[in-house]
């Protein structure tokens, strides 16, 4: 079996940890300490984040979508495949190196999706962008950290508390959807979404789509 090779590492702004990009043959992994945050062989639940959200806003002209977290681009690529040509997608990524990796060693994984004219990259905290936006987005897709149970940044908790969820609701247009990826269920988060005025659906999905893998959860919260 081929060994893992570390290609690069990058600090997480505002935190003490760092991300590490590793490669084994054609497979890539992004690690935080001993935790694997994402793997290029497992994309099903990240793709579902985009496709399930699209169903909630289907038929809208010129949809404006915000994706929190670039990761390995699976959510972005899936969004591009289902959204119309008049859509606009902003991808907010906090760690500059992740964008650099997308255009460099992982360019084959990304398949040029960052060059799609519908896509704009916002280098910075998605929470700050959400708080500054009022009735701007048809969909906000959050694949940030480990879900509501934060792992990489304590400040990510602000996305999922009452104030963060109300800010997301205010940033959505009427009928817009807040979609949140998580590594596991969280009944308290489901209740918070409801208490913040969303109609909530929690969907179970698999890391590798229909082929199995770990069980993940996607919340679809409609304003």
Question: Structure pTM?
Answer: 0.92
In this prediction, residue 146 carries a pLDDT of: 65
Q: Place 1 in a pLDDT band, splitting at 50, 70 and 90.
A: confident
Tell me the per-residue pLDDT of 40-93, one tens digit each, with 9 for 90 and over. 988 788 899 999 999 999 989 999 999 999 999 999 999 999 999 999 999 999
Please give the Cα distance from 11 to 19 (Å, whole number): 6
Please give the Cα distance from 161 to 180 (Å, whole number): 13
Please give the Cα distance from 215 to 183 (Å, whole number): 7
122 burial level (CB within 10 Å; 0-12, 13-18, 19+): middle
In this prediction, residue 210 carries a pLDDT of: 58
The stretch 8-21 carries a mean pLDDT of 89
**Structure tokens given for 58:** 């289907």
Tell me the per-residue pLDDT of 149-184, one tens digit each, with 9 for 90 and over. 654 445 567 888 999 999 999 999 999 999 999 888
70 burial level (CB within 10 Å; 0-12, 13-18, 19+): buried
């Amino acid at each position: 079996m081929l060994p893992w090779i570390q290609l690069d590492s990058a600090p997480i702004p505002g935190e003490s940890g760092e991300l590490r990009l590793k490669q084994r043959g054609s497979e890539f992994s992004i690690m935080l300490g001993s935790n694997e945050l994402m793997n290029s062989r497992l994309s099903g639940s990240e793709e579902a984040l985009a496709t399930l959200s699209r169903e909630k806003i289907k038929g809208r002209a010129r949809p404006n979508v915000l994706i929190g977290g670039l990761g390995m681009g699976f959510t972005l690529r899936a969004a591009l495949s289902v959204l119309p040509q008049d859509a606009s997608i902003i991808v907010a990524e906090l760690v500059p190196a992740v964008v650099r990796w997308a255009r460099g060693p992982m360019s084959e994984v990304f398949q040029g999706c960052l060059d799609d004219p519908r896509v704009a990259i916002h280098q910075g905290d998605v929470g700050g962008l959400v708080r500054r936006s009022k009735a701007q987005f048809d969909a906000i897709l959050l694949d940030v950290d480990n879900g509501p149970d934060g792992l990489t940044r304590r400040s990510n908790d602000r996305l999922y508390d009452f104030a963060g969820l109300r800010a997301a609701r205010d940033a959505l247009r009427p009928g817009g959807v807040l979609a949140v990826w998580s590594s596991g269920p969280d009944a308290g988060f489901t209740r918070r979404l409801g208490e913040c005025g969303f109609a909530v659906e929690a969907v179970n999905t698999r890391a590798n789509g229909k082929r199995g893998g770990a069980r993940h959860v996607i919340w679809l919260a409609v304003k």
